[in-house]
Structure 1
Amino acid sequence: MKDSIKIKLSIMMFLQYCIQGSWYVTMGTYLGQTLKFTGVQIGLAYGTAAIAAIISPVFIGMIADRYFSPNRVLFVLNTIGAIILVLLTRITNFSLFFPVLLIYSICFMPTMSLTNSISFDNLKEPGKEFSRIRLFGSLGWIGAGLIISSRGLEPFATPFLIAAGISMFAGLFALLLPYKKPIQVENKISASQILGFDAFKLTKDKSFFVLILISTLTCIPLAFYDSFTNLYITNVGIGNAAAAMSLGQVAEIIFLFTFPFFFLKLRYKGSIVAAILAWVVMYGFFALGAYTGYKGFIYSVLPLHGFCFTFFFVAGQLFVDEKAPSTLRNSAQGLLTFATYGVGKYLGTLVAGNVVQANTSNGDYNWTSIWAVPFFIAIVLLIAFIVFFNEKRDNKKISV
C-alpha cells in the first residue's frame, strides 16, 4: 500500500469529520440564543441526522456500487452540502430552517459510510490499517470544535460558513482519491435494487443479522449518553462539563491508534463484547455516582466511552466490509449507517427522552433511575450478542 494513498485517505477522514464537528455541537446554542428557537424545535433540528440516516445511505451506497465511483459521489454530496450550509446562515425561521437542514443531512449522512468503503477498498489489510485512518476523523472533529470554541463563535452562524468552506474543499479533494470503476451488472435493474434494498438480503446470514440488530439496539442506551451526560455531570456539580467529556474523545484517539493490536487478539466478537461490557460498567458507575454522590465514579468511566465507540463501531464496520460482496460494498456500509445512526439513534432519542421525563419532578432529576435503564438494556444486549453471534473465520462473502 503506497503511503501517498494512506495520506489521502487520512486527509479525507479529517476533512469529513471536520465538517460536522464545525457546526453540530454548537448548533443548539446558535438556534436557542440567537434565533430563539424553542427546545422542541432544537430537538427536531438535531433529529434531522437520524431521519436522513434512515432515508439516504443505502440508496446512495447503491449508486456508488453500480453507477459512479464512490469518490465522485463524495464530491457531489460535499459540494451540494457546502451550498446548503451557506443557505442555512440566511434562514432565521424554523419552518424553513428545518426542511433545508434535513436536505443537507440527507446529503451528508451517506458520506460517513462512503468514506469507510473508500478506505476499505484501498487498504490492503483493513483490520490493521483502518482504525489509524479513522483516527484522523476524530482529530478533525476535535480540532474544529476547539477552533469554534476558542473564538467564541457558538452563538453565531459562522460555524456553518466554516463548515461550508471545509465541505467545498473536501468535495474537491475527493476528486484526488482513487477512482473505482462501478461494477457492471448484466441483469436488468429492479426497483428494489435502485432503492438499495439488495443490501438487506445480507441479513439472511445469521451473524450479519445479529450484528445489525444489536448495533441498532445498542444505539438506544447510547442515546442516553449523547443526550444527557453533559446535563448529568453539570447537574451533579462537576465543573467544566465539556472538558470532562473530552476525556472520552482523548480515549477514542488512543484506542483508534491501538485498535489493530487488540483486534488481532479479540477479533470481531471479542471486540464488540468488550465494548458492550464497558458500556455496562460506564452506565452502572453513572448510576452509582448519582446514588452515592461520589463524583469519582463518574470521572473514572468517562474515558470508557471512547473505548466503547472505537471497539464497537470500527469492529462492526470491518465485519460488514468483510462479509459484503463487492457489488454491495457501499450499500452494506450504508445499511449499517441506516441501522445505527438512523433507526437506532431515532429510537434511542425517543426512549431516552421519555425515561428522563418520567424521572423528572419540578426540575429535579432522579439520575439513579435514569441511568439504571441503559445499564440493564446494555446487560441484555451483551448476553444476546454472546449467545447469538457466531464468528466464522472463513472470510467468505455472503452470497445474495
Structure 2
Amino acid sequence: MSVKVRLSIMMFLQYGVWGAWYVTVGNYMTAIGMQSEIYWAFTVSPIASIISPFFLGMVADRYFSTEKVLGFLHIIGGVAMFISPMFAEGPLASPTLFIVFLLINMLCYMPTIGLTNSLAFNHLSNQEKEFPIIRAFGTFGWIAAGVLVSKVLGADLTSMPLKIAGILGILLGIFSFVLPHTPPPALGEKASFRKIIGIDAFNKIKSKPFYVFIISSFLLCIPLSVYYAYAPVFVNSSGIENPGFVMSFGQMSEFVFILLMPLLFPILGIKKMLLTGMFAWVLRYLLFALGAPDQVVWMILAGVILHGICYDFFFVAGFIYVDKKATKDIRAQAQGFVVLATYGFGMLIGAQLAGYLFNGMVDASSPDVFKQWQNFWYVPAVLAAIVMVFFAAMFKDKEVEKLEGAN
C-alpha cells in the first residue's frame, strides 16, 4: 500500500471518527432526557483544544514517533467513546460520568488533528498541491459517517453513533501502527511554555491588524458555538428527517467552496473574504430565526448549506492570513495561538453561553417552542453582526494588501 493511500485512509478515518457522533449527540441526549446537559458535550472539545498543545509540545513532539502516539491515543479515546453510552442510560446512568468519558475521548482526539497533519506533511514531497487532496478525504470521512449513522442506519436518536465512533477510533489506532515512520519532530529541543502556546509569535508579529483579527476571531467563535451544539437539535425538532444526514450538507458545501477559494482570493482579498465568512454566519442565524416559526424547510436547509462559506471563508481564510503575517520561524506557533484563541477559549465560552441560552429560552414541551427557537437564533445573529461591524471598521492591513496586489 502506497504512502499516499495510507495517508488518505488515515484522514478518512480521522474525521469519520468525529463526524460519526458530533452531529447526533445533541439529539441523542434530548431523546434520553438529558437535553439540559447538551452544552457540556460541546464544552469538552474546547477544553481539549486548550490542553492538547501542552501534550503535543511537552510529550508527543519530543519523545515518541508520531504514528505510535497517534495509535495509542486513538485506541484509548475509542474505548472511552465506545463505553460512554453505559453512563448515558440504563442502571449506570450518570450525566456527569457520561460527559467525563466524552472528555476523555476528546483529550485523546484533539491532539491527533495536529499529529495527522504533521505526519502527512512529513511524507509529501509537494505539500501545497498534495496535502489538500489528502485532507479532502477527511471531509469525505465526515460526510460518510453522517450518511451511515443517519441515512443508512437511522440512528440519530440512539447511542449507536457513539459506539460507531468508538469502533472507528480503535480501528484507526490499530491502522496508525502501519503508517510511515515519523520520528519526533522536536527531539532534543527544550520545551518552552511561551513557545507552546504561541505567545512569542504573538509578540513578534506586533501588528494592529493582526490583533484586530485575533480579537475578532475569538469573539466570533462565541456565537459560532451555538450552531455546533444546537443546529442539529433545531433541525430535528423542525420535523426534518435524518438530521445527521442533513447536517452533512454543510460539509459537502465546505468541500465545494474550498475548491473555489483559490479563484476567489485574488478577486476579493483577505479582508473581503473574512467579512464574507462573517456575514454568512449572520445570514445563517437569520435564516434559522426567520424559518423557525413555520418550520420553513428551505430556509433551514439554506442555513446548513451556508457552512461552506461560513467555515472556509472564515477559518481557512484566517489561517492563510496568519501564514502571510508570520515569518517561517514562528508560523507554527502563530497558527497554534489562533487555534487556542478560537477553538479553545472562544468555543469554550460559546458552548457555555449556548447552554445558558437554550436552557433559558427553549422549552420543547411549550406550544410556543418555535417562536422560542426564533428568539434563540436572533441572539447569535446579533452577536455575529456586532463582531462583523467591528472587524469591518477596525481591520486594514496595508502590508498584506500590497502582497495581494503584487500577486
TM-score normalised over the length of structure 1: 0.79
- CA distance, structure 2, for counterparts of residue 161 and residue 201 of structure 1: 41
Superposed displacement of residue 143, structure 1: 0.9
Percent of matched pairs sharing the same residue: 38
**Offset, 1:294:** 6.1
Provide closer, same or farther for how the CA distance between residues 154 and 61 of structure 1 changes in structure 2, counting only shifts above 3 A.
farther
Kept after mapping to 2: 8 A contact 1:134/1:256: no
What's 1:377 paired with?
A: 383
Instruction: State the one-letter code of the partner of 1:100.
Output: F
Using the alignment, how far apart are the partners of 1:41 and 1:360 within structure 2?
13
Query: Following the alignment from structure 2 to structure 1, what is the Cα–Cα distance between the partners of residues 382 and 397?
Result: 23
Matched with 1:21 is: 19
> How many Å separate the matches in 2 of 1:297 and 1:87?
37
Q: Which residue does 1:78 correspond to in 2? A: 74
Residue type of the partner of 1:134? R
| 2:186 paired residue number | 183
Please show how residues 34-45 of structure 1 align to structure 2 within 5 Å. Answer: 36=32, 38-45=34-41
Contact 1:289 1:295 in 2 (8 A): yes
Give the conservation status (yes or no) of the 8 Å contact 1:81–1:164.
Answer: yes
Aligned to 1:252: 254
SS of the counterpart of 2:380? helix
Work out whether residues 43 and 352 of structure 2, in 8 Å CA contact, stay in contact via their aligned partners in 1: no
**Secondary structure of 2:185 counterpart:** coil
CA gap 1:388/1:264 in 2 versus in 1, 3 angstroms: closer
Aligned to 2:53: 57
d(CA) in 2 for partners of 1:185 and 1:323?
A: 29
CA contact (8 A) 1:78 1:167 kept: yes
Pairs within 5 Å for 1:109-120: 109-120=110-121
Distance 1:67 1:329, change over 3 A: farther
How many pairs align?
387
How many angstroms does 1:291 deviate by?
A: 7.7
The CA distance in 1 between the partners of 2:236 and 2:350, in whole Å, is: 22
Distance in 2 (CA, whole Å) between partners of 1:235 and 1:86 is 27
The 5 A counterparts of 1:58-207 are 58-61=54-57, 63-88=59-84, 90-91=86-87, 92-94=92-94, 95-120=96-121, 130-149=131-150, 150-154=152-156, 157-175=159-177, 176-177=179-180, 179-183=182-186, 189=191, 192=193, 196-197=196-197, 199-204=198-203, 205=205, 206=207, 207=209
Residues 66, 327 of structure 1: 8 Å contact kept: no
Per-residue deviation, 1:324:
5.8
Equivalent residue letter for 2:227: Y
| TM-score, normalization by structure 2 | 0.77
Once the two structures are overlaid, the 10-residue window that deviates more, 302-311 or 370-379, is 370-379
User: Which ranges of structure 1 fall in alignment gaps of 5 or more residues?
Assistant: 396-400
Q: Distance in 1 between matches of 2:271 and 2:127?
A: 17
| 181 and 370 in structure 1: CA distance in 2 versus 1, 3 angstrom threshold | closer
Counterpart Cα distance in 2 of 1:39 and 1:245: 19
Of 119-128 and 21-30, more deviation after overlay is shown by: 119-128
Tell me the C-alpha RMSD between the 2 structures: 3.7
